[in-house]
Structure 1
Amino acid sequence: MYFIGIDLGTSACKFLLMDEDGVIANVVSESYDVEYPRPGWSQQNPADWWEAVRRGIPALLVGHDASQVAGIGCGGQMHGLVALDADDKVIRPAILWNDGRTVEQVRYLNEEVGTAKLLEWTGNIAYAGFTAPKILWMRDEEPDNYARIAHVMLPKDYLNHLLTGAYATDVSDASGMLLLDVATRSWSAPMLELCGLTAEQLPHVFESYEKIGTLLPEVASELGLPEGVVVCAGAGDNAAAAVGTGCVGAGSMNVSLGTSGTVFIPTAGFSPVGDRIHSFCHADGNWHLMGCILSAASCNAWWMGDVLGTDDFAGEQAGIDAADASLDLPYFLPYLMGERTPHNDTLARGAFVGMSMSTTRADFTRAVLEGVAFAIRDSVEIARSLGVDVAASTVCGGGAKSPLWLQMLVNVLGIELRLPTTEQGPGYGGALLAAVAAGVYPDVAAACDAVISVRATVAPDPAVVAAYEARYQAWRQMYPALKPCFAQIGA
């Protein structure tokens, strides 16, 4: 029996074929483009995602018995607004999670509606990446398109709709819309009214591991799959990655170094924590805290590709000493697309600080990696301030493949980092959720216990931790100092 996990990312859609014992039989990837029509704007054509599915799943099945596929689960980029008309046609390009066009709408929500009401209605405050501000932006800036909205969907839910015909979402992904009452795991009536939406325009809410339907006959035929394949609700990419790394249940944590960077901490119950970190539903039926930085591995990709003009990531990092945390090395603020937690500032921008005539190319590369690690630590510090015991963490994402970056991160955080045997976080999590939906495992925790293990651990060096502590304390003063400049530039 096989299960397909889909990781609908920002730059590519990855497909994973897993057997019922958790062994990965095949992985393929299909890439596509992101549009940046204005500075700080980010959007994508949903048709590109579906074309990736049409190419990727048949390629995934080559050499394998497709008749044994029993389920599909998708982990997808969160917050993106996919607006459909009455004929299920996409009205405009999807506005993505890292888009910053909703400055005015976020201000309206947080200041005029008020954060106290938002916390009461949803358990969170407004951030530019969330879906509700995007809907308000369409209302304000594209009223003709707004008037055509018949269905509001998230990216992975749009794929699931094309697979099954169902209008469905899951609690973890819906948590990031600012339309869900996270405490009750149901749509927030006051937020729907504020956005001018009805419940009929929103998808039905499922738990991540629940079945939403089976493949449409014509889709099954095109993809080379049996008609009875179960499709589960799936999860937002961070919750799916948490499942894929075994990060379920209180006391665990996962750090993801993907295009964005996240700190994911499961909790036993719902606990809204204000304006510095998110409180969302988890894919295992519980809740979690999450800190998110908008640019993580994407900072390194920008530095290597756009600035240095190279794809030799390992070569550029060779010779850099992860233990060298001298105060006079340059610093980097990784806010290339603005920032989510803890600053909630769409106008924040990247910056190098502290260069001198002795600064080298390698010093800049080092600063980029370190700056992302410091930004990750900001969210960890918020969790610690709330009384969360952060003693160790799993780590996943493309950035986790860099030994240098891992060693920096472990000493910046001062905790042990554990690398799962399987590095396909969101896709693997999606496949595990599908296996639960198909009845192979009784629940998500049992699935993780059965198949997930740790292949290696990276431990901090106390002396280096102390050196990075001094650099972190210097670094964290830089954003407040530059914030007025960012606001002036943005204006």
Structure 2
Amino acid sequence: MTHDAVIVLDCGATNVRAIAVDVKGTVLAKASQPNITVPAEENPDWHQWPVEGIFEKFSDCCRQIMKDISPERIKGVTVTTFGVDGALIDRQGNPIYPVISWKCPRTNDSLQHLKQYLDPDKVVTESGVGHFAFNTLNKLIWFKENRPELLADAHGWLFISSLFNHKLTGRLTTDATMAGTAQLTDLKSQTFNTRILSAIGIESDFFPEMVQAGEMIGHLLPEAAAKLGLPAGILVISSGHDTQFAVFGSGAEKGQPVLSSGTWEILMVRSSEISGLAPDMFDNGFTCEWDSHKNHYNPGIQWLASGVLEWVGRQFYPDVTGSEKYKKMISEASAVPEKSHGITFNPTFLPDGNGRTHGAISGLSLNTERGAIYRSALEALSKKLKSSLHQLEQIGQFSASEIILVGGGSKNPLWNQIKADTLQLPIKILKESETTVLGASMFAMSGAGLYDSPEAARVAFDIQYETIQPNV
């Protein structure tokens, strides 16, 4: 067969992957390599993303999967990744400073300094994006206050997905779904907010031309094609922020809540309207990003989730490594009764608006075993989900009858059951776990002309679910 598949390059916080998907939604092949931040030269506690290293991993993974796939089958390629992160660039599109990771603590002070430039309440209500230290706005404030010469010399800014798209095509663009995460835009008009930008001394043309999901960016350059093991000249299609494509790829209709569970858990709903945003709504992780479709929205609430569980694994299971670690953790926690022998866990590990953290474990005794601590973390995160769903129902004026669950967290059967029991709602889990990749591939196929629309691709994929019923 010819031209019946696309390649999705997926850069996650944990893994860098290349995945081939055909027009029926079948994952033909995939390969991954671990992703990790590197320390900054100025401070070993600062986190940065090694863009060149990530692209090399993309290349290695793509060449690996292409050993089993005829190159003639590949119609296009697309890139999806986490939001907010990016780099200042020169006129050739090359970064002039490394990509500051969302994990980096250096922007905590920038968040505290925001009020020196803008009214924080207006920023959240106009942009729709809540106050998080890792927001792109806070990164730019950090440059303004700490490296003003770089900000003055920069030709512009590329989000991390567009850094890779530039390497693929040579074109400077801005993926729309990435812009919608930045706290630099206007929610309703879905353009860059000139008032926010001017307050930090930036013009709208600092960001290259915006492209919508499913829009063609260009053709794969010969040099990039050789690295990836793909034919030169194939189409490069815009996708962008992974969460939006996980939501669309889950099969969710408007008003149907989707929980994307990974390093972060993000509970979102697709909506064609958004109104009545008030500053106090943003106090507990609420944010409203741009949907994968223009002029649509994804109101949602986010919190650190598997990132907390990874911390539990590092602290209490250092003797277990690799794929056996979580099997061991789940096995030991499954033997612990509900309520974890009285252990309570506060999973609020990130600093609040005042820079304070509240993470805690209480109820410990000399008889406490590590399985109880892990289970208490799962229960605490599930309670966070319940309170977040209640808040989102009030904001979105809907009543959930079920939750669609996607992402890496959906592979944890114990956590899935605890969620269903805590919510007393069915949890629907896609049988194909690669939801972000499926969603991105739907837009890539639409942009490449394999389907008339992403919706047509989604129908053809025939999404199937496993349903977890709550125990009464």
* TM score, norm. by length of structure 2: 0.90
Contact 2:47 2:100 in 1 (8 A): yes
- Sort the Cα spacing of 1:383 and 1:121 in 2 relative to 1 into closer, same or farther, 3 A: closer
Contact 1:418 1:454 in 2 (8 A): no
Contact 2:260 2:407 in 1 (8 A): yes
Which amino acid is 2:163 matched to? Y
Match of residue 459 from structure 1? 469
- Residue 388 of structure 2 is aligned to residue 383 of structure 1: no
Which amino acid is 1:318 matched to? S
Give the drift of 1:453. Answer: 1.7
> What is the CA deviation profile of residues 258-298 of structure 1, one whole-angstrom value per residue up to 9, with x for unaligned ones?
122111211122336332411111113321112111x3222
Give the drift of 1:370. Answer: 2.0
1:207-226 aligned at under 5 Å gives the runs 207-226=212-231
Give the drift of 1:223. Answer: 2.2
Q: 1:7 aligns with which of 7, 10, 21?
A: 10
Unaligned runs of 5+ in 2: none
Which amino acid is 1:33 matched to? I
- Residue 179 of structure 2 is aligned to residue 166 of structure 1: no
- Sort the Cα spacing of 1:381 and 1:110 in 2 relative to 1 into closer, same or farther, 3 A: farther
SS in 2 for 1:177: coil
Match of residue 192 from structure 1? 197
Match of residue 259 from structure 1? 263
- Sort the Cα spacing of 1:42 and 1:335 in 2 relative to 1 into closer, same or farther, 3 A: farther
- Residue 42 of structure 2 is aligned to residue 29 of structure 1: no
* Range that drifts further, 269-278 or 21-30: 269-278
Contact 2:336 2:372 in 1 (8 A): no
* Range that drifts further, 448-457 or 24-33: 448-457
Which amino acid is 1:371 matched to? A
Whole-Å separation in 1 of the counterparts to 2:275 and 2:434? 29
Which amino acid is 1:354 matched to? G
> What is the CA deviation profile of residues 395-446 of structure 1, one whole-angstrom value per residue up to 9, with x for unaligned ones?
1222211111111111223321111121012222221210011122222233
Identity of aligned residues (%): 21
Whole-Å separation in 2 of the counterparts to 1:174 and 1:377? 29
Q: 1:425 aligns with which of 435, 452, 459?
A: 435
Match of residue 477 from structure 1? none
Which amino acid is 1:62 matched to? K
* TM score, norm. by length of structure 1: 0.86
Whole-Å separation in 2 of the counterparts to 1:166 and 1:272? 38
- Residue 249 of structure 2 is aligned to residue 244 of structure 1: yes
Whole-Å separation in 1 of the counterparts to 2:354 and 2:56? 34
Q: 1:320 aligns with which of 319, 323, 333?
A: 333
Which amino acid is 1:254 matched to? V
- Residue 201 of structure 2 is aligned to residue 202 of structure 1: no
Give the drift of 1:137. Answer: 0.7
Whole-Å separation in 2 of the counterparts to 1:308 and 1:2? 41
SS in 2 for 1:176: coil
- Residue 279 of structure 2 is aligned to residue 269 of structure 1: no
Give the drift of 1:41. Answer: 4.4
Contact 2:329 2:374 in 1 (8 A): yes
Give the drift of 1:112. Answer: 5.9
Contact 1:6 1:426 in 2 (8 A): no
SS in 2 for 1:6: strand
Contact 2:220 2:234 in 1 (8 A): yes
Match of residue 85 from structure 1? 90
SS in 2 for 1:234: strand
SS in 1 for 2:309: helix
Q: How many residues align?
A: 456
Whole-Å separation in 2 of the counterparts to 1:322 and 1:382? 32
RMSD value, Cα: 2.3
Unaligned runs of 5+ in 1: 463-491
Whole-Å separation in 1 of the counterparts to 2:105 and 2:30? 33
Match of residue 470 from structure 1? none
Contact 1:11 1:34 in 2 (8 A): no
Give the drift of 1:110. Answer: 5.0
- Residue 344 of structure 2 is aligned to residue 331 of structure 1: yes
Give the drift of 1:375. Answer: 2.9
Give the drift of 1:175. Answer: 0.8
1:289-438 aligned at under 5 Å gives the runs 289-293=299-303, 295-309=304-318, 310-311=320-321, 312-321=325-334, 324-326=337-339, 329-336=342-349, 338=350, 346-386=355-395, 387-438=397-448
Whole-Å separation in 2 of the counterparts to 1:430 and 1:50? 18
Which amino acid is 2:465 matched to? R
Which amino acid is 1:443 matched to? S
Contact 1:2 1:68 in 2 (8 A): yes
Match of residue 481 from structure 1? none
Whole-Å separation in 2 of the counterparts to 1:306 and 1:86? 45
